[in-house]
Amino acid sequence: MNPKYRLIYLVLGFAGLIVLIYHLATNLFEYPGEILMIAIPDMIVFFCAYKTYPAEARMEVER
């Protein structure tokens, strides 16, 4: 994936994480499906941000 999108993915991921924390704090037991609808795209966006790192850097982290 293109590394120039890394910052966009990280900003979107952390914005979604803030929204998720807000929903968890305010109405966890009222709308559990809404929590999943926020968490799943967040995981996808953070995975896309992870995939933008070069393969060599990822191998160093895994060791």
pLDDT at 58: 59
Q: How far apart are CA 41 and CA 13, in angstroms?
A: 8
HSE of 12, CA atoms in CB hemisphere, 13 A: 17
Domain that holds residue 10: 3-62
pLDDT value of position 45: 94
Count of structural domains within the chain: 1
- Per residue of the chain (63 residues), what is the pLDDT tens digit? 778 888 999 999 999 999 999 988 888 778 878 888 889 999 999 999 988 887 776 566 665
Q: What pLDDT was estimated at residue 2?
A: 78
The pTM score is 0.75
